Structure 1
Amino acid sequence: MAEKTAARTASKSTERTARSADVLAAGCLCWRRAGSGVEVLLIHRPRYDDWSFPKGKQDPGETLPETAHREVGEEIGLLPRLGVPLPTIRYDVKDGVKDVHYWAAEFGPGARPEPDGHEVDEVRWVDPCEAHGMLSNPSDREPLAALVDLHERGDLATRPAIVVRHAKAKPRSAWSRAEGDRPLAATGKRQALAVTRLLRAWSPERIVTSPWLRCLSTVVPYARKAGVTVRERPQLTEASHKRHPKKAAAVVQALFDKDVPAALCTHRPVLPTVLGVLSRHMAPELAEQLPAKDPYLSPGEMIVLQISRRHRRRVVSVELVKPFDD
Structure 2
Amino acid sequence: MSNPATVIAAGGVVWRERRGTRQVLLVHRPRYDDWSLPKGKLTAHEHILLAARREIEEETGQHVLLGPPLGVQRYPVRRNGSTAQKLVHYWSATPTDDSGFEPNDEVDEIAWLSVDKARSRLSYPRDVDILDALEPAVSVSSTLVLVRHAEAIKRKDWDGKDTVRPLNNAGTAVSERLTGVLAALGANRLISSDAERCVATITPYASSINRHIHLWPEISERGYDADPDGLRGLSERAWAPGRVTVVCSHRPVLPALARELGLKVGKFSTGSFLVAHRLGDGRLVHERFGAS
Query: TM-score if structure 2 supplies the norm length?
Result: 0.89
Residue of structure 2 in register with 1:305 after alignment: 276
**In the alignment, structure 1 residue 320 sits paired with structure 2 residue 274:** no
How many Å apart are 1:55 and its aligned residue?
A: 0.9
Residue in 1 aligned with 2:50? 66
Read off the aligned partner of 1:101 and give its amino acid letter.
Answer: H
**Which protein, 1 or 2, shows the higher relative CO under an 8 Å CA cutoff with sep ≥ 6?**
1
The answer to whether 1:126 aligns with 2:118 is: no
The letter for the 1-side match of 2:62 is: L
- Provide the C-alpha distance between the structure 2 equivalents of 1:259 and 1:158, rounded to a whole number of angstroms: 6
Q: Output the amino acid matched with 1:106.
A: T
The count of residues paired between Structure 1 and Structure 2 equals 284
Please state how far the C-alpha of 1:78 moved relative to its aligned partner: 2.5
Match of 2:31, SS?
A: coil
Q: Secondary structure at the match of 1:82?
A: strand
| Secondary structure at 2:184 match in 1 | coil
**1:26 aligned to 2:10?**
yes
User: Structure 2: how far apart are the matches of 1:271 and 1:323?
Assistant: 16
Compute the displacement of 1:223 (Å). 1.1
Q: Which moved more, 1:22-31 or 1:185-194?
A: 185-194
Change (3 A) 1:241 1:315: farther
Q: Which amino acid aligns with 1:291?
A: V
Does the alignment pair 1:89 with 2:73? yes
Q: Distance in 2 between matches of 1:198 and 1:323?
A: 10
Q: Deviations over 1:131-174 (max 9, x none)?
A: 111112221111111113x16xxx53454210110001111112
Once the two structures are TM-superposed, the CA of residue 257 in structure 1 deviates from its matched residue by 3.8
Offset at residue 40 of structure 1 (A): 0.9
C-alpha distance in 1, partners of 2:286/2:144?
10
How much does 1:49 deviate? 2.0
> Structure 1: where are the runs of 5+ without partners?
1-19, 280-286
State yes or no: 1:146 paired with 2:133: yes
Question: Compared with structure 1, are the counterparts of its residues 100 and 40 closer, same or farther at alpha carbon in structure 2 (3 Å cutoff)?
Answer: same
Partner of 2:192: 209
TM-score calculated relative to the size of structure 1: 0.81
Q: What secondary structure sits across from 1:107 in the alignment?
A: strand
- Structure 2 unmatched ranges of 5 or more: none
Moved more, 126-135 or 242-251: 242-251
Match of 1:106 in 2: 94
Please give the alpha-carbon distance, in whole angstroms, between the structure 1 residues aligned to 2:241 and 2:134.
25
Post-superposition offset of 1:26 = 0.3
C-alpha distance in 1 between matches for 2:197 and 2:235:
19
Determine whether 1:137 maps to 2:106. Answer: no
Q: Secondary structure at the match of 2:218?
A: helix
Partner residue of 1:5?
none
Are the structure 2 counterparts of residues 126 and 204 from structure 1 closer, same or farther at C-alpha, using a change threshold of 3 Å? same
CA distance in 1, matches of 2:212, 2:59: 31
On the 8 A contact 1:90/1:139 being kept in 2, the answer is no
Give the Cα–Cα distance (whole angstroms) in 2 for the partners of residues 159 and 30 of structure 1: 19
1:224 and 1:244 mapped to 2: Cα distance?
31
Q: What corresponds to 2:217 in structure 1?
A: 234
**Structure 1 residue 42 corresponds to structure 2 residue 17:** no
Q: Over aligned residue pairs, what C-alpha RMSD do you find?
A: 2.1
Identity percentage of aligned residues: 33
1:205-248 CA-to-partner distances (Å, cap 9, x unmatched) read 11111121101110000111122221122222111111223323
Partner residue of 1:117? 103
> Do the aligned partners of residues 83 and 28 (structure 1) sit closer, same or farther apart at CA in structure 2, a change above 3 Å counting?
same
Whole-angstrom distance in 2 between the partners of 1:71 and 1:198: 14
Alignment of 1:188-227 (within 5 A): 188-227=171-210
Deviation (angstroms), 1:252: 4.0
More strand by share: 2
Distance in 1 between residues matched to 2:45 and 2:186, nearest whole Å: 20
Give the direction of change, closer, same or farther, for the CA distance of 1:47–1:115 in structure 2 (3 Å limit). Answer: farther
What amino acid does structure 2 have at the position aligned with 1:29? V
Counterpart code for 2:259: G
Q: Secondary structure at the match of 1:83?
A: strand
Contact kept in structure 1, 2:146 and 2:274, CA below 8 Å: yes
How far is 1:177 from its partner?
A: 1.1
Give the SS at the match of 1:297: coil
The CA distance in 2 between the partners of 1:114 and 1:90, in whole Å, is 31
- SS of the residue 1:272 aligns to: helix
Instruction: Please report how far the alpha carbon of residue 273 of structure 1 lies from its aligned counterpart in structure 2 after TM superposition.
Output: 1.8
